[in-house]
Amino acid sequence: MKFQSTLLFALLRSTRALSSTTTCARHPRSSPLSFALANRGGGGGGGLLSSQRLSATPSPDDNDEPNRIPATGWNHNPPKEDSKFWQNNNQNNDSNSGINGDRPQEEEKPKKLRTGWLHNTEPAKAKSKTSDPAGGKGGGSTTTNLAQERLKQAMALQEQNHRIVGPPTFHACGDGRQVVVTEHKISVPIYRNQERSPRMDVAFSVVEEVKDLDTQSWFQSLLQSPNPFQRATQYVQKANLKDAKGMCLYLQGGPGFGSPQPIAGLGFSAGSSWAAKALGTYSRIVLMDQRGTGKSTPITKQTLEQRFPDLFLFDGSSGGGSTTTTTTTTTTTQDALESQFAQRPEDHAKFLAALSQATEYMAQFRADNIVKDAEAIKSALLVPLEPGSPAPGPLPYGCAIGQSFGGFCMMSYLSLMEHPPTICLLTGGIAPMLTPAYEAYSGLWERVKERSLQYYDMYPGDIKMVKMIVKKLLEEPQRLPSGGTLTARRFLQLGMGLGGSPSAFASLHNKLANAFVQENDQIVFTRAFLKSFDAEQPFGDYPIYYFMHESIYADGPENSPTNWAANRAYQNKIQTPSDFDYKLTSGMDSDAKPVIFFGEMVFPWMSEDYAECGDVGCQHLVNSLATKTDWPNLYNGEHMRQVLDDGRSRAASASYLDDMYVDWDCAKKVLSRGGPLEKCKAYVTNEYQHSGLRDDGAKIFAKLHGMAMGSVRTPS
């Protein structure tokens, strides 16, 4: 019995220590813990707190310090052993016996708390019927253990910090369908290998159909709740989801871009999208903004400057990486930068420390953490388990669909999670896990060339136009409104869009048709043409794509570093006179040698051409990531086979023969017999390009879902 009292006191002490190190002084507020306990803790004896004692809790400030660690909610000092806070049940005991005596007191009773925080919820002699988690023979956990579980659950809920950030919105979709969209955020650890990691927000939207007036009225009642935390708590209680069978998770392509926004970017009228089709089978569509993207805690140069200011100590100095309008190379040499380092040794030491920290920070934004964030989202949506209840069985998502990079994430899901989604659908997203990055990019360059030639087949007149633009930019790069520079090489990155929807060719053609205007007997670029590059090449706004793109191929130390694999493959192709050398082909008068566009590749020179990706800090950060040698594994082929063999998951994929982003030859190795995804049913077609899910989503979802379920026989 004395052990119980000591355990309670130790719990109070540890909780107080946790609070004292994590409460953010900049944001004094009442703790959500009491609300969480009363509204989510459940439990016998009427709960831990009466509802009359609750007060509205302000939501955490989304602009909190970057390294904030959520407060625990226990802000008072724990009581001392002789405090009146404790009820003394042993007043008649011998004062000379105790811890230092010959033996413990046989009749000693545990101290009780006066506050009601951890009051007993059953008679002192009652025993819980649940098994002792420590494996003891005492017959079950005590009242103290049950209260302790409730406290831990409440603290976990507060740390999770689930919020619905705005009132629900209703949308009429026609054909008798109305949907409601709720926008959520949760808090997740940045570094999952750290016990006390700082946290960040991950945002997600939930779309569900409103099928009756009672449901509509209940969602409208949420409009009256001003508190994001309370809205989320009420939502979870009302939904009362005990499993995730009715959830369909979407994993977006990228990396670096948020999920499509419901209604604005993803329709829900009948047959309008994969999501509209999926909502006929699943009750909730979960659209996740992967960490660092969309409405999640963002990654931009601005936020990196706030988080790692020492990384940018040399930006804007004579050692910077600025560009001029007359040359495509930096105006300051590496020697000049080394001179700056030598002249400012203290700043250089700070810079190197910040570079190491920023590299480790950015390394957390890969598929391995993305799928763990998806699991945290699922946990936030499920009703919390009653303290003292036996642990439930596996609770996987009913379905998940991964497009492009989202398919890579799905392969990490199948590799790293014991219970991945029951149905896993991959569209244009088979990672080349059996092919080194350099070889994969070498193959993709050939597919980009073929796609470029197909474009010129459709618009042969653009051969001369492209050569004219490239030659002019080689002679005179153009300053863009964003502060970046339009160089010939950056112009050729427009080819990244050629593998998208069927209208991609026409869009590029229309853009080129408006490139020039006559001005004072000279042909100059139009302002509209120049302005369009900032909108169509948003790498400055979404630098994760630039920083992390090649890391998606870094599957463990054996496949590290990537070391600018796409650029190395390109340089190898232009070692001898080559169709890939735009400097060579742009100077040829013959249409027989058109300029080849670039595809979905990143290059070290992008730090020079894109303002928000440039200067010393970003240049060194992206190079540090490109040369990182200790990337953890993203895939486990054996585990993929196991979860597909034993029926934990079923998978189906759509692969596009002419895909210029995900090479079919590399994907085929993974899908073939003996490969990690040999149990994944494959639909292979040249009817679509990479954007098939966007262009004909309802049809593709129905086909793949039927393949996975066994109702569609493909392959035949």
Q: Is the pLDDT of residue 696 over 60?
A: yes
Distance CA 140, CA 143 (A): 10
**Confidence at 80, pLDDT banded by 50, 70, 90:** low
Q: Is the pLDDT of residue 1 over 50?
A: no
- Report the mean per-residue pLDDT for the chain: 83
Name beta bridge partners: 286: 206, 249
Q: Which of 61-70, 352-361, 490-499 has the lowest mean pLDDT?
A: 61-70
Q: Is the pLDDT of residue 126 over 90?
A: no
**Confidence at 224, pLDDT banded by 50, 70, 90:** confident
Distance CA 711, CA 716 (A): 12
Q: Which of 36-50, 306-320, 411-425 has the lowest mean pLDDT?
A: 36-50
Q: Is the pLDDT of residue 327 over 80?
A: no
Backbone angles phi, psi at 685, to 5 degrees: -150, 155
Distance CA 2, CA 9 (A): 11
**Confidence at 82, pLDDT banded by 50, 70, 90:** low
- Which pTM was predicted? 0.80
Digit-coded pLDDT (tens) for 395-436: 999 999 999 999 999 999 999 999 999 999 999 999 999 999
Provide mean pLDDT across the span 82-111: 44
Provide mean pLDDT across the span 317-334: 49
Provide mean pLDDT across the span 647-663: 97
Helix (H) or strand (E) holding 238: helix 228-239
pLDDT at 333: 65
For 86, the 3-state DSSP assignment is strand
Provide mean pLDDT across the span 659-681: 97
**Confidence at 330, pLDDT banded by 50, 70, 90:** low
User: Could you tell me the two tokens for 205?
Assistant: 């939207």
pLDDT at 451: 97
**Confidence at 145, pLDDT banded by 50, 70, 90:** confident
Q: Other C-beta atoms within 10 Å of 100: how many?
A: 6
**Confidence at 5, pLDDT banded by 50, 70, 90:** very low
Percent of the chain scored above 70 by pLDDT?
A: 78
Distance CA 67, CA 429 (A): 33
Q: Is the pLDDT of residue 289 over 90?
A: yes
